[in-house]
A and B are shown apart, each in its own frame.
Chain A
């Protein structure tokens, strides 16, 4: 609750958070919010301009663009969120094991991570699609398989700082089990790092999913997805450029909102930044910038 209050103090973050929240809610309850069936074809309304009935107009098959945008939230945002959660989950478990136990376990896990990280992310995903075939599930799977290593790396580093600290040593000395130490003493303090890392790559993942769908590798017709809508609009880019606006702006707004939220989260969560708000803000942004910069796609 206190966290939420802190975020709400920053206006930009508050607006961004509400955009993200609304997007997720609308996506989950898409059938309630969408004014039309997103798959309903009306050839007589092909490329119709916006009207009161179809607020954002109609696409090349006369389907309602607004409804398709709303249904597109599911693959573009919600499924990406699920994939993100899964790869962060895998990364967290392995990161904790590596960071806490150190030694051989750490060495082996980190070498595996090195191998995974030494491939450029896009190439890795493309290779996996090549093996598994084109399809949305396969892209998500490829994402999970190629992203966990990065999360494991970052989380391990976060865990290591705390695993060395005095209170953990003390807990060990009085014979508390490793499992319990991790859950009780390390997870709470490193949780903020995990959240910041995860949220900062959320936006990037949405862009990538849209990118793959744009290339026709992701979700298949007739399902709606933002990247694919953009690709469909691209075909008539010179005769009807306005069709690119709706999906394009949606992607920009949502990804931007996510990035602002992740920045604000970082500020709000970092205990070290609590004392002086002003200075911490600057620190936070620079470190967030570093995190995003380092990420291997």
Chain B
């Protein structure tokens, strides 16, 4: 018996040693993949359906293959597939002059006809695109000549160009890939106009993108990009160290695969660089105001939750100072969001007082407050792939317990959380605003969209007023009215405390040290891979 145990021990020790030596061998190969301008990035989620007129696919991947008519940059809207455009006096007709040297990956010419087909394909599936208000405003799309197209709206809509610049759905797929002239029942191929084309895709394993040598903006330096599906955390860390992947970034749901310390360790080794974008969005907890059977539908409870979030500690301890504390839904540098709002600082006593006044009382000997026999108990959903969300959830759970609030934590896949958001089956969940290119107009528009924040906002007292104002602001022509309408909207949701801000998030990139030209777009959902190259 003991003899056999000893043998096992030896075998075990031997295999550990073997594993360690394997790691050493492979570490020596780092950089082999780099020589031929090949970038391999790790992603926790599969690239999924690359159909650009749907929302299942990975946004960074769609961003390299497809392009929109215009581009949202730091200096405003710039030309992309459209060289120039005119807007009619009444704001209802947009005329775009297209670039004439653009081809789809399959050789089809990019022209007015292709634009029309794509826009009509999107419009024919309107219910899927209800979150993007432009889809409800487009009346028709007319071909003027081979490279001129006209977009007619039912009423003036100021974010038109912003929404046309988004990663999806108003991007262009080769008409040859359409099935029966539509894209909503699947497509035959994924030929866009972008700097990279999809070469091979294996579900839950990898997707390979190759440089588009005939790209109208010049062939990109990187010749091959591979998106490798790897579980977040130590697998990704090891893959980076072994040279199996050489690029890593914050995914489109705001999840970092590595914790801050692991990232710092990689940078210290000298083989990797860490590049952080400027703050792009606000990470927050979304409260479901329309869930009548949960205490969370009461404004006082939400306010108490807000007061009981110690943002400084989260920013300093959990994020090691890499993210700053956020006190409002939109930081003041976001357009139209420089509004004076009452600051709800971290103060447990105030939180307790608010709950007491609202009738949630702590009976002697109880740990949890009650009101009319109902317990002050809620559920908070977090993304299981995000270790920082879990840590924050546990930290907050403890703080909330001290004010007599019981919060159950439930970790789920990000898709399942997105689903909860649209069906309203949640009390509280982690979320983030959509980033510079989308804030505030798209995030605000999403307040009233059933697929996004409708359940979050529909339970508040001034819900009807809020929705009316959102309708108005989108069609307002005058800058001053727009400003005051946005101020009202931001004030209403702030007063009702339905979006509880935590920190200002950014996009983080970890890449091998010899990768040049890492930069960011105005959105957290895409990266400009075409500007990168290995030295």
Contact = CB atoms under 8 A, between A and B. Distances in A.
A41 B398 contact: yes
Contact of B398 (A60, A61, A216): A61
A220 B237 contact: no
Given A235-B259, A239-B261, A239-B265, A222 B237 contact: no
Nearest to A41: B398
A134 interface: yes
A237 B234 contact: yes
A183 interface: no
A285 interface: yes
Contacts of A61: 391, 394-395, 398
B259 A236 contact: yes
Interface stretch (B187-195, B297-305, B405-413, B437-445): B405-413
B384 interface: yes
A165 to B, nearest CB: 32
A46 interface: yes
Nearest to B390: A221
A222 B398 contact: yes
Contacts of A222: 394, 397-398, 409
B409 A41 contact: no
B285 to A, nearest CB: 16
A22 interface: no
B317 interface: yes
Interface residues of A, number: 22
A63 to B, nearest CB: 9
B235 to A, nearest CB: 10
Kindly state the interface size class of chain B when it binds its partner.
20 to 34
A216 B383 CA distance: 12
A221 B409 contact: yes
B398 A236 contact: no
Contacts of B391: 60-61
B199 interface: no
A43 interface: yes
Interface in B242-273: 259, 261-262, 265
Given A220-B408, A238-B237, A41 B259 contact: no
B450 interface: no
B394 A221 contact: yes
B387 interface: yes
Contacts of B259: 235-236, 239
Contacts of B317: 43-44, 46
Contact of B393 (A44, A221, A237, A263): A221
A40 B391 CA distance: 14
A234 B394 contact: no
Contacts of A43: 313, 317-318, 395
A41 B395 contact: yes
A122 interface: no
B6 interface: no
Given A60-B391, A221-B393, A221-B394, A236 B262 contact: yes
Contact of A238 (B262, B384, B394): B262
B398 A39 contact: yes
A235 B233 contact: yes
Contacts of B398: 39-41, 61, 222
Interface string A253-280: 0000000000100000000000000000
B22 interface: no
Interface in B310-336: 313, 317-318
Nearest to A46: B317
Contacts of A46: 317
Interface string B108-138: 0000000000000000000000000000000
Contacts of A263: 1
Given A46-B317, A216-B384, A285-B1, A234 B410 contact: no
Given A216-B411, A221-B390, A236 B395 contact: no
Contact of B234 (A40, A44, A238, A285): A238
Contacts of A285: 1
A238 B190 CA distance: 39
A239 B313 contact: no
A237 B262 CA distance: 9
A142 to B, nearest CB: 18
A61 B313 CA distance: 11
A221 B261 contact: no
A225 to B, nearest CB: 14
A57 to B, nearest CB: 16
A156 B317 CA distance: 58
Interface in B394-421: 394-395, 397-399, 401, 408-411
A220 B394 contact: no
A285 B317 CA distance: 52
Interface in A36-78: 39-41, 43-44, 46, 60-61
B394 A41 contact: yes
A222 B393 CA distance: 9
A235 B384 CA distance: 12
A235 B409 contact: no
B265 A238 contact: yes
Interface string A19-43: 0000000000000000000011101
B256 to A, nearest CB: 12
Contacts of B233: 234-235
Interface string A226-237: 000000001111
B259 to A, nearest CB: 6
A139 B412 CA distance: 17
A44 B393 CA distance: 17
B394 A235 contact: no
A236 B261 contact: yes
A221 B395 CA distance: 10
Contacts of A39: 398, 401
Interface in B357-407: 384, 387, 390-391, 393-395, 397-399, 401
Contact of A134 (B262, B393, B410): B410
Contacts of B393: 221
From A60, A134, A234, name the one whose CB has the most chain B CB atoms within 10 angstroms.
Answer: A60
B62 to A, nearest CB: 29
A41 B395 CA distance: 7
Given A41-B398, A222-B394, A222-B398, A239 B409 contact: no
A42 to B, nearest CB: 10
Nearest to B5: A256
Interface in A192-249: 216, 220-222, 234-240
Nearest to A263: B1
Contacts of B265: 238-239
Given A46-B317, A234-B233, 12 more contacts: A41-B394, A134-B410, A216-B384, A216-B411, A220-B409, A220-B411, A221-B411, A234-B234, A236-B259, A238-B234, A239-B259, A239-B261
* In the A-B complex, the 7 residue pairs with the closest CB atoms: A41-B398, A239-B261, A43-B317, A221-B409, A235-B387, A237-B234, A43-B313
17 contacts: A41-B398, A43-B313, A43-B318, A46-B317, A61-B398, A216-B411, A220-B409, A221-B393, A221-B411, A222-B394, A222-B398, A234-B234, A235-B234, A236-B259, A239-B261, A239-B265, A263-B1
